[in-house]
Structure 1
């Protein structure tokens, strides 16, 4: 990009993660292909979360496992991704408990839980 004096401008972009949950979604009754491609056993529902800072995915996984009968399928402290499975009610309960804790205790910005 050239500026007004015809010199090249350099733009540095960096990601500065805030304290937020940007995705909290329940996939109720996924098709078999979804379970198969993810390598997750068919249990009724899959919960997906995206968090920043990324390490907080570990806290969310712990809350999910303690608050409902869910199986942690994937947790990544380098991308802030968490996936777990169980029956629909357990997945929804786990997601809601995570959202409540992160909003009320850790003062995170959260999104509403969505469902498909």
Structure 2
């Protein structure tokens, strides 16, 4: 672990594809600036996922959209990011279903669902 970075230190960050969900988060009550910055309607909670391999974002978005009444706002197959919004219960249900499917059916490593 690097404790202190000086001027001559450099950090190299790599993406090592694995079968994993690295983020599953609910933003329960976003402030208006968050909605505006993301370019989504000011409606309910926001669900965020980050997955590798990146292309599995497509599968996650499909499952999330079928699991509950959410609007898919963003899917990026190049970074593995998915974002959707809806009422808090629907967003949590969608995230739970994605986590369950990826873990039980696809054998992915997953993280606990977090919420702010």
Matched, 1:78 2:78: yes
In structure 2, the partner of 1:37 is 37
Of structures 1 and 2, the larger Rg is shown by: 1
Query: How far apart are 1:14 and its partner, in Å?
Result: 5.5
Query: How far apart are 1:65 and its partner, in Å?
Result: 0.5
State how many pairs are aligned: 105
In structure 2, the partner of 1:5 is none
Query: What stretches of structure 1 move > 4 A for 4+ residues in a row?
Result: none
In structure 2, the partner of 1:15 is 15
TM-score w.r.t. length of structure 2: 0.87
In structure 2, the partner of 1:6 is none
Structure 2, gaps ≥5 residues long: 1-12
Matched, 1:107 2:107: yes
TM-score w.r.t. length of structure 1: 0.87
Structure 1, gaps ≥5 residues long: 1-12
In the aligned structure 1, how far is the partner of 2:113 from the partner of 2:38? 21
In the aligned structure 2, how far is the partner of 1:48 from the partner of 1:102? 15
| Aligned residues: CA RMSD | 1.4
Query: How far apart are 1:16 and its partner, in Å?
Result: 2.7
Matched, 1:61 2:48: no
Query: How far apart are 1:44 and its partner, in Å?
Result: 1.0
Which residues in structure 2 correspond to 1:88-99 (within 5 Å)? 88-99=88-99
In the aligned structure 1, how far is the partner of 2:69 from the partner of 2:39? 19
